Amino acid sequence: MAELRVDILTLFPGMFSGPFAESIVRRAIDRDLIAIHIHNLREWGVGKHKVVDDCPFGGGAGMVMKPEPLFEAVEALRAQSSLAAPVILLTPQGRTFDQRVAAELATFDQMVLICGHYEGIDERVREGLATDEISIGDYVLTGGELAAMVVVDAVSRLVPGVLGSDESAANDSHAGGLLEYPQYTRPQTYRSRRTPDVLLSGNHAQIAKWRRERSVLRTLDRRPELLKEADLSRDERAMVSRKLMEKDQEAALSSDDGVLDAEALPRR
Ligand code: ADE
């Protein structure tokens, strides 16, 4: 049995043929580490015409996904297996997906993803069927399919054995709340840009120290808000404070009128 089974409920199953047929996810499926089942919601459509959507009560533009196909599809899945799995609705109204949510989902051995579409989804699905709602960011996609692919991709690579070595996931950007350090490969010098000497030194302790420091500095530079939650040592916190003070001083010295701005200087 696979470590992780994902059931995806969608009106557009064809959308999934690309991303899961290549690269790491494909290899994980081939090695039976993950199993992805794509279900066409139309199979549970209502009546002879397999209707899956209808006009909104109260009027308004667009169509709303009917509740019955979704409830019946999830019930059919539950009948197949002991489904204590989360039932996750992909929607821009959900909690924002990040590495922490990916790690949380990777602890389950099964999950059901519902891809919303059209103008919306009947509210009873949120109330009585979905156990979680996830958004992959503050923008609106045409449907939940791409979001489901993003979630499956990010969660799959956290499943033990999916990546070549466990280390690869541990060092990822965001893994310890920090962005990843810069990487270099051959050639040593490319278009006059040199690989830092320390990486060529063979001194593993020095390399690890350099990488950790670059990881902290890069996070400070690009995503300083992440440092609040990051797991930093005392020395690292001190380095961050020092850098922040230097930055403040630079800002004070280069303020428009050339006059030192006392407010911008760090207080001691
Ligand atoms: N469906 C439409 N937009 C979405 C988003 N940003 N995240 C998840 N599902 C969506």
pLDDT tens digits, 194-220: 999 999 999 999 999 999 999 999 999
Handedness of CA 127, 63, 94, 156 (dihedral sign): positive
Q: What is the pLDDT of residues 131-148, one digit of tens each?
A: 999 999 999 999 999 999
Q: Among all chains, which residue has been given the structure tokens 């020092």?
A: 242
For the chain, how big is the Rg over CA atoms in Å?
A: 24
Q: What are the C-alpha distances in Å from 244 to residues 177, 253, 256, 265?
A: 19, 14, 20, 10
3-state secondary structure of 114: strand
Checking if the pLDDT of 84 tops 90, the result is: no
Shortest CA distance to 125 belongs to which of 172, 85, 182, 65?
65
Shortest CA distance to 85 belongs to which of 95, 73, 77, 97?
77
**Ligand 1 and 140: CB distance under 6 A:** yes
**Ligand 1 and 137: CB distance under 6 A:** yes
- Which residues are 112's β-sheet partners? 7, 87
Nearest ligand 1 atom to the CA of 134 is 8
Round to whole Å and give the CA distance between 91 and 145.
10
pTM above 0.85, yes or no: yes
Q: Closest residue (by CA) to atom 7 of ligand 1?
A: 135
What distance in angstroms lies between residue 151's CA and the mean position of ligand 1's atoms? Answer: 11
Name the pLDDT band for 83 (thresholds 50, 70, 90).
low
Shortest CA distance to 64 belongs to which of 48, 74, 52, 73?
52
* Residue 60 and residue 87 in contact, taking contact as beta carbons nearer than 8 Å: no
**Ligand 1 and 169: CB distance under 6 A:** no
Query: For residue 103, which phi and psi values (nearest 5 degrees)?
Result: -65, -40
**Ligand 1 and 144: CB distance under 6 A:** yes
Q: Do the bridges between strand 189-190 and strand 193-194 make them parallel or antiparallel, or are there none, so unpaired?
A: antiparallel
Q: What is the pLDDT of residues 35-80, one digit of tens each?
A: 999 999 999 999 999 999 999 999 999 999 999 999 999 999 998 8
